[in-house]
Structure 1
């Protein structure tokens, strides 16, 4: 089961690279913020239709959730604006490895302390070495 979930995550990451590649040209045509709005507009419409057919009818209210849980609503557009502005300048591969370095670094901290009600997974030498290799890849790609 874990292998299947890892495969799904890898495919999702591949989709993000495609999205980054599409955002650059879209941003240069309509502007970075309009490109971001269009991406989220299409995503919101798709999510709405998926909710109509697949969401449980008795789910808790969106408005009853703690505000901290809704920060992703701010972080998502920031991420897309960064992709839209940076990708055309430094390329998709360097953008994605930079994003990956930031994600893994922050994820290690979140896991280590069990933030956001996640299970604690302490930082160990294997995780530090993995982060080191990602940072090394970022440095090698930036110099290339």
Structure 2
């Protein structure tokens, strides 16, 4: 039951990404893509700062004691948002989301296959490769 609930939460987060992409496109065209991205991260940072006040475990000093490569994920967020802000008005939300999904699944399968970043190894098999091919077909059909 926990796994089903977790999948539902992830599904809802995915729905939120589509809404975010839909909002970012017009915002980026109105104020510029970099300004829209900055706005998204400022609002998010403020909300996370407030949430951190109520978090049961605040380990900010420990954060900077971690290996630097673990912090490089912070670079990927703004790059992702700038790309989403820029391409969504050109491709549409659906096509953008399927292309994003294809990239996420392809990379996720590769990282799982090699057990990157300490995740449990899950070898790429025919089913997983088939899923990736179906997503590629969906991208070709929706575009």
Alpha-carbon separation, structure 2, partners of 1:119 and 1:97: 26
**1:59–1:84 Cα change, 3 Å:** closer
- Give the aligned partner of residue 28 of structure 1: 29
Aligned residues: 142
Structure 2 residues not aligned, in runs of 5+: none
Question: Post-superposition, which runs of at least 4 consecutive aligned residues in structure 1 deviate over 3 A?
Answer: 57-60
Which consecutive residues of structure 1, in runs of 5 or more, have no partner in the other structure?
none
Please list, as runs of the form range in 1=range in 2, the aligned pairs for 1:124-143 lying within 5 A after superposition: 124-142=125-143
Distance 1:58 1:134, change over 3 A: closer
**CA deviation vs aligned residue, 1:81-122 (integer Å, no higher than 9, x gap):** 010000001100000000000000000000000001111111
| 1:27-46 paired onto structure 2 within 5 Å | 27-46=28-47
Rounded to whole Å, the distance in 2 between the matches of 1:58 and 1:137 is 42
TM-score normalised to structure 2 length: 0.96
| Partner in structure 2 of residue 65 of structure 1 | 66
Separation in 2, partners of 1:26, 1:55 = 35
Q: TM-score, normalised by structure 1?
A: 0.95
Alpha-carbon deviations, 1:44-87, whole Å to 9, x = none?
A: 11111111111414565221111111121100000000100000
1:93 aligns with 2:91: no
Over aligned residue pairs, what C-alpha RMSD do you find? 1.1
**Which residue pairs with 1:9 in the alignment?**
10
Give the match for residue 79 of structure 1: 80
